[in-house]
Amino acid sequence: MMFGYYLDLALRSLRRNKVLTTLMVLALALGIGACITTLTVLKLLSGDPIPQKSAQLFYPQLDPYPANQPFSRSGKRLPFLMSYVDAMNLIHAHKAERQAAMAMSQVKLMPPSGEGKPFYAQGVLATADFFPMFDAPFQYGSGWTAADDDSRAQVVVIAGYLNDKLFGGANSVGKMIRIEDHDFRIIGVLRAWAPQPRFYALHLGGRSYGKGDAVFLPLQGARADGLMPSAMMGYGKSIDVDHLESAEAIWLGLWVQLPNAAAVSTYRSFLGNYAREQVSLGRFRKSHTALSGLMEWMRSEHVVPEDVRLQAGLAFGFLLICVVNTVGLLLAKCLRRSREIGVRRALGASRGAIFAQFMVEAAIVGLAGGVLGLCFAELGLLGIRHQPAQYASLAHLDLSMFLFTFVVALAASLVAGLLPAWRACVVAPAPQLKDA
Amino acid sequence: MRTFRQIQPILAALRSHKTAVILLVLEIALTMAVLGNLVFIVYGTIQRSHVSTGVAESQIGLIQSITVIGEQSQGTTAGDLAALRNVPGVTHAAYGGPPLWYVERDPVFLDPSRQHPVAQMYEFQGSQDLSRTLGLHIVEGHDFSDDELPVLAKMSMSKDFQFPVLITRALADRLYPGGNALGRVLYDGNAASRVVGIVDHLRGEITGRPDDDYSMVYEYVVGAQNMGGGFMIRASDPARLPQVLHAAAAALQKADPAHVQNKLFTMPELRAKYFRSDLATGRMLLAIILILLVVTALGVSGLASFWVQQRRRQIGMRRALGATRGDILRYFQIENFLIVTGGVLLGALFAYALNLFLMHRFELAHLPANYLLAGAVALWLLGQLAVLGPALRAAAVPPVVATRSV
């Protein structure tokens, strides 16, 4: 009941001083708008790319580098890619439920029947488990098998958007497509599939955001045709690019699927044993290994662009300034009403009642700031969508951010209201009534 | 003198509003910290977008041409280049790529054992005439002469072959701090190179780091091959570059019909695209800066007008006791100046701390002191502007208010 009364009092007070109220709401709304805009982008970029599976996906790392020439200057970070020999040894051990090695490659595509111009597209070279492990959905056909990997089959899975472009969306399974001047038979067409960020392309030279990769080829088959990975690093004297499979070079990403904690710890010890075995064989100098979960891996590798983090940090600084601003203005308002408070106290209102009254007032300012801030955030996101960044078109406010806006608004305004409300409730009634 | 004598009573008055003063000082300090660093970041981006790559950007155009293997082509790369050179308005043409466009980056070593890379350098490679097409400025040594260039067709040459190369002044100073880079031999991942000339600048990318300007250029003679990739032209007249580039593309198409031209762009277009995202971010930060200034001004002016209202009786009394309107106006202006000064001093500290954090976290450069000075001046002006309205209203309070009960 008292709440209704406080609400009435608060609204009266806010109405009485329209300019000050507008200033408070506006300042808070600007701060909230900036915060929600940058947070939406941050959330988009650091989101879970594959929520149903991310807990089961792991990224193993080994260190084949010579002792005097560590991979990182500090010697603490492990190489983020794997050599062909190690990737194949780990895959053929079949110690995980699923396992796939992959590389990215910029490939030249010729439209079928020679119509139209050739163009470049992003290709993925992978082993067979790639599709089931990452839950890539098929519109037509299917992926290839481990047998296809071994027989270096000249087959390809294409993205839905490429199928739309080249075949008008029709079932193209069985048709041929020319990639880097070699003919490949289409065996599958994916539905729209583009994990954001593209975790598997990290360090492989692919794009992290956007509509997804265009073609998927069996690793060995594509390599037999001379397709080159976009990223490779040598740990020997030089890279023999003609024999990458046996070169002292890392150029593959390996992902494994481990269904539960027991499987993870089994795999971890398998990986450790493998590294020690390689040390005893003289291939490795160091036996340290790592096995990171997908989300952990993305965090440690700073997938989110630095400038986005910077903007989010600045937006919080900005919100802080707006909150300080609101504290000042609320304080001004409440000090001005010392007499009114004195009267209410003299008539029997408790300190708690005064405190509650002022907090309700702050909360109303916060809610109004939240609503207006939401408008500003929509405007800000509209601006982001017109930016040239890879992720621009994905920037939309979702339900959770919508609700979060009000949480931020309420929290900010209540924090801002604490000091003024406390100052109001300690006002002594008598002096305010005496004079003037 | 009058002004100085006023400071004492103002300070005394401020002491009775400690909380509000502290809040204002805090707000101004935070604004200054965020503002100083934001302006620094935006200015850095703008400055970076004006750094030259060192080539004759306004005259260079590029045709990306894809060969289609399997189709019999009558054309040769030498023929393609000759066709390009014959286009009216083209002064030079070469096979190769310009800066800012997928330039290869390799470690560079001083000895053939390749144990300790000295630096990472950009490697520009292409056909004869590459350096003249790029319009490089050779400051020491000489440009490539045709008789010293290796011939591409015979490039599986002996291991002892040393490519003649041009390197930038910055790379020369990094590799040979004592000078005398000319004639020295250096090594990348695969080959040995002998420095024949030094160019003033050639940046592979523009990131703001000093090693942007670590570059090496080498040329080889192309002949009967049929290669796809980048074909660059240099036009004599920058104003006619787009037309000349299109004419050149048409000539290349005619000379080599089996090629498919994927992309066609001028160096100014490439540059605009390269910086598009950075400049867009800069514009967004600029918007934040403006909003920040408005919010702070609103806060200052809101509190000031509250103080004026609260002190109407005192103001009336002072007026009745002989203070002029100017005295009252100045009172509030000085009060604001004192508060902003407090905020600026604290703000300088905050700005420095924030800068240290950003340097640690985001590779930002050190914030120069003049940014703090500029920030302080901006906030003083902003404060005076924000307080002007309330101060004028205070000055307009008639002395008779003193005799009324509020």
Q: Which residues of A touch B264 (CB under 8 A)?
A: none
**Whether pLDDT at B126 is above 80:** yes
Contact call for B27 and A383, based on CB within 8 A: no
pLDDT of residue B406: 47
CB-based contact A105:A230 (threshold 8 Å): yes
Give the span between the Cα atoms of A131 and A127, in whole angstroms: 9
Window A:10-39, CB contacts with B under 8 Å: 19-20, 23-24, 26-27, 30-31, 34
Q: Of chain A residues 76-115, which have a CB less than 8 A from chain B?
A: 108, 110
* pLDDT tens-digit readout, B384-397: 999 999 999 889 88
Residues B64-81 as b/e (b if ≥16 CB within 10 A, e otherwise) read bbbbbeeeeeebbbbbbb
**Do B20 and A383 count as a contact with CB atoms less than 8 A apart?**
no
Interface of B with A in 311-330 (CB under 8 A): 313
> Using the beta-carbon criterion (under 8 Å), do A117 and B262 form an inter-chain contact?
yes
pLDDT of residue B58: 95
**Contact residues on chain B for A336, CB-CB shorter than 8 A:** 306, 309-310
Domain ranges of chain B: 2-49+275-403, 68-258
Count of beta carbons in the 10 Å neighbourhood of residue B276: 14
To test the contact with chain B by mutation, choose from A318, A323, A338 the residue with the greatest count of B C-beta atoms within 10 A, namely: A318
Task: Tell me which residue in A19, A325, A389 faces B27 most closely, judged by beta carbons.
Answer: A325
Beta strands at B119-127 and B104-108: parallel, antiparallel or unpaired:
antiparallel
Q: pLDDT tens across B78-104, in order?
A: 888 999 999 999 999 999 989 998 888
Comparing A121-135, A182-196, B151-165, B313-327, the range with the smallest average pLDDT is B151-165
Nearest CA in chain A to B21: A328
pLDDT of res. A75: 67
Whole-number pLDDT of residue A312: 79
Shortest Cα–Cα distance, B139 to chain A (Å): 33
Per-residue pLDDT of chain A (436 residues; tens, 9 = 90+): 577 888 888 888 778 778 778 888 888 898 888 888 888 888 777 778 888 898 999 999 999 888 777 777 666 788 889 999 999 999 999 999 999 999 999 888 887 766 667 788 899 999 999 999 999 999 999 999 999 999 999 999 999 999 998 898 899 999 999 888 889 999 999 998 888 888 898 888 777 777 889 999 999 999 998 888 888 887 876 667 778 888 888 999 999 999 999 999 999 999 999 999 999 998 888 888 999 999 888 888 777 777 777 777 877 888 888 888 888 888 888 777 888 888 888 888 888 888 988 899 899 999 999 999 999 999 988 888 887 766 777 778 888 888 888 898 899 889 888 988 888 888 777 776 665 4
Residues in A closer than 8 angstroms to B207, CB to CB, are none
Predicted local distance difference test score (pLDDT) of residue B51: 92
Tell me the nearest-neighbour CA distance from A383 into chain B, angstroms: 8
Q: Check B23 against A327: CB less than 8 A apart.
A: yes
Question: CB of B70 within 8 Å of any CB in chain A?
Answer: yes
- How many CB atoms lie under 10 A from the CB of residue A29? 24
The SS3 assignment for B108 reads strand
- Average pLDDT for B349-367: 86
Residue A436 Cα, gap to closest chain B Cα (Å): 6
ipTM greater than 0.90, yes or no? no
Most confident of A419-428, B5-14, B170-179: B170-179
pLDDT value for B153:
67
| Residues 263-302 (A) with a CB less than 8 A from some CB of B | none
Among chain B residues, the shortest Cα distance to A320 is held by: B30
d(CA A272, CA A82): 15
- Partnered with residue B231 across adjacent β-strands are B63, B95
Nearest Cα neighbor of B219 from B273, B146, B295 is B146
Distance CA A102, CA A113 (A): 30
Q: Do B34 and A317 touch (CB under 8 A)?
A: yes
Instruction: Give the pLDDT confidence score for residue A240 in this predicted structure.
Output: 72
A-interface mutation test, from B17, B39, B104, B281, most A Cβ less than 10 A away: B281
Q: Give the one of A181, A321, A333 whose C-beta lies nearest to B30's C-beta.
A: A321
What is the C-alpha separation between A400 and A54, in angstroms, rounded?
Answer: 20
Of the candidates A237, A49, A427, A395, the one whose C-alpha atom is nearest the C-alpha of residue B116 is: A237
Residues 6+ apart with CB under 8 A from B313: A436, B401, B402, B406
What does pLDDT average to over chain B? Answer: 86
**Contact with chain B for residue A388, Cβ under 8 A:** yes
